[in-house]
Amino acid sequence: MSGKFLNQVAVVTGGSTGIGFAIAKALLTEGAKRVYITGRSAKSLDEATATLGDAAISVVSDVSSLANLQTLKHEIEKRGDQLDAVFANAGIAENNFFGETTEADFGKTFDINVKGVFFTVQTLLPLVKDGASVVLTASMVANKGMENFSLYSASKAAVRSFARSWANDLKGRKIRVNALSPGFTRTPIMENGLKWDEAQIEAFKNYAEGVVPLGYVAQPEEIATAALFLASNDARYVNGIELTVDGGLTQI
């Protein structure tokens, strides 16, 4: 442990599983005083905090609900905390078939992935310290044209755009805003969002071996390492960027 986040306070939305959980765990390992994690499932949050320990505070919160985001803000305020880092990580990934996509499909993806990110950061902004860091979880698909994935891809392109705009909006407070764009990563989204079975997941891993230059699907911890870099003092002159962590898939 280097203690790079010693005594710091952070929020990780979508922090009960996958990349969000890995970020929360890494923050605590690096000395964070308190990490607030959110999610829509109380059961998943309870399981996460049981592993993370007392320094993790779980808040049942749907980022698409402004009332839920106010509840999160209140939970932070009542402990007298101010935020050194915000990881706006919560999101969903579902296939949509162009020509068959419904308005409800569109609304669901954009409410969580775009509206949720926007209002998470805006709601928590009064609690964010000057000189703090905001890390937005985008995706490498924002720069691709993957079949049956147009809603997810467009929503993540919006998130990447937020990083550019907010880096300017918040420059007076020296708050850095960066986007993290993971590539293929083994998270519960494969089962819960994409509805893949074990055979499909195995086939996807085999596919990744051929198309990803590093030859494998990442684990959440490998993405979390990059997220912590962006939020740390090591990246103090890094602002407004998209850090793509995809094993070289979109870069070569």
Which H helix or E strand runs over 50?
helix 42-52
Catalytic residue among 36, 152, 216, 237: 152
DSSP state at residue 160: H
Task: Please confirm, yes or no, whether 237 is among the known catalytic residues.
Answer: no
Q: How many CB atoms lie within 10 A of CB 156?
A: 29
Separation CA 195–CA 96 (nearest Å): 12
Which H helix or E strand runs over 244?
strand 242-245
DSSP state at residue 164: H
Cβ proximity of 70 and 46 under 8 Å? no
- Of 30, 34, 74, 79, the residue nearest 54 (C-alpha): 34
CA 114 centroid distance within chain: 12
State the catalytic residues: 152
